[in-house]
Amino acid sequence: MKTLKIEIPDGLEAEIKKYIESGWFKDESEIIRYSLREFIRKNKPEFAEKFMEEDIRWALNLKKERAGENNCL
């Protein structure tokens, strides 16, 4: 497993501690892993759509470039 070192604002640290103290999470690592999994799960469709749009734009630009090269011949 990869270890990351992060810096967070004091207010966010206080919120994390509240969740740990109330028993929602075992420790800071667990809440951070959970938060990252949820972020990825919720944003995965949006990211996939963005990447597909970028790929389509790239392909359309390439098609235009190639069409322009053929017109020069």
pLDDT digits (tens, 9 = 90+) for 10-60: 999 999 999 999 999 999 999 999 999 999 988 887 777 777 888 888 888
Tell me the chain's radius of gyration from C-alpha atoms.
23
Residue indicated by tokens 């996939």: 48
Q: Euclidean distance between the first and final Cα of the chain, in Å?
A: 56
Provide the phi-psi class of 23: left if phi over 0, else alpha when psi is between -120 and 50, else beta.
Answer: left
Residue 71's pLDDT is what?
66
**What sign for the dihedral angle of Cα 58, 63, 67, 69?**
positive
